[in-house]
Homo-oligomer: A and B are copies of this chain.
Amino acid sequence: MQRSEPQDFSRVLSSMCTVPHPTAREAAERFLATNPGDPGTYATVSKLERQAVDLLGEITGLPDAAGYVASGGTESNIQAIRLARNRADTRTPNFVAPASAHFSFHKAADVLGVELRTAPLEDYRVHLDAVAELIDPDTVCIVGVAGTTEYGRVDPIPALADMAHDVGALCHVDAAWGGFVLPFTKHAWNFADADIHTLTIDPHKMGRAAVPAGGLLARGPELLDELAIDTPYLESTSQMTLTGTRSGAGVASAAAALSELWRDGYEKQYHTARSNADWLTAEARDRGFDVVEPTLPIVTIDFPHALIADLREAGWRISRTEAGEGRVVCMPHVTRPMLEAFLADVDRLA
């Protein structure tokens, strides 16, 4: 039976989530009544989780990856800072992250009681000298972003990893959104490119899995031991995830999407998104708007505030950067005809 979707994506330019791939949707529906948080009871979905983590390892240059399918990027980022904090020997821990880092790092700082030191940017990437100045013996982690939320920029990950190693801190990379587009670019971002410890990569963003399917990867399983809590009444004996009961739908749909789309499907999807981003950039510049040069397929256009308000009024879901630009995330559901319709409304309302 074909049902109407309760969510209309035809005007959604703001979201980093998208319509799941049909194979991912089917897997999510089949595994709705499973809980990978209880692997003794729900064995089938636990095997799928191992498969998903292996494929995420392939994408990120990490054979024999340790990790799990998390509730999303926020959980993965919190967990990365948590394990860095737990293995460090300080009562006043801090971590350093770029000003461009996702707000989940502010959440992590509050939740975990770890001071967040924000490093300023230079051309939308973290300023390395500023990072160096913020590091001290209580620094437990240095964060780099591979595909920033607002501008899609990629921090100099290898240099950040080197700085972390020099002070005995961990290096965590947030590639929650970027992880499924970066393999098709020349950027250095993953476990093969740099000596990083942990990485966030979310199948439910560009990976086309159903929500909730985030990913936390770690270079070695011993890093995740810092997160383990005993689970007396389950058939399994410990748990490293932040949540307890977890979504089998998310895990199964991540495994299905990754099996289906890595690598050719994701590559094709990247080139389409890239082409749309370049086209939108050119069209916006033709109309006299400033556009921040896109590195990955996120386009930020310096629309007047009143125009953004009018576009929202017209039904467009468009978000704004902190600096005020309108932000268009070229997700798989964002097609050329959709962008044409958007620009027609821009022309009408500007």
Contacts and interface: CB of A to CB of B under 8 A. Distances in A.
A320 B232 CA distance: 8
Interface string A199-227: 00010100000111010000000000000
Interface in A225-272: 229-235, 239, 242-250, 252
Contacts of A245: 16-17, 71-74, 202, 204, 211-212, 214
A33 interface: yes
A202 B245 CA distance: 10
A107 B32 contact: no
Interface stretch (A6-14, A117-125, A283-291): A6-14
A15 B41 contact: yes
A25 interface: yes
Interface string A307-319: 0000010000101
Given A12-B41, A74-B244, A317-B41, A103 B229 contact: yes
A35 interface: yes
Contacts of A104: 244
Interface stretch (A56-64, A108-116, A179-187): A108-116
A212 B71 contact: yes
Contact of A30 (B3, B44, B72): B3
Interface residues of A, number: 79
9 contacts: A9-B33, A17-B35, A25-B33, A40-B319, A72-B244, A74-B244, A78-B111, A104-B244, A233-B319
Contact of A233 (B149, B210, B229): B149
A308 B229 CA distance: 24
Nearest to A91: B113
Contact of A229 (B3, B110, B243): B110
A64 to B, nearest CB: 26
In this complex, which of A41, A72, A204, A210 has the most chain B Cβ atoms within 10 angstroms of its Cβ?
A41
Contacts of A244: 72-74, 102-104, 107
A242 to B, nearest CB: 7
Given A111-B112, A320-B233, A35 B211 contact: yes
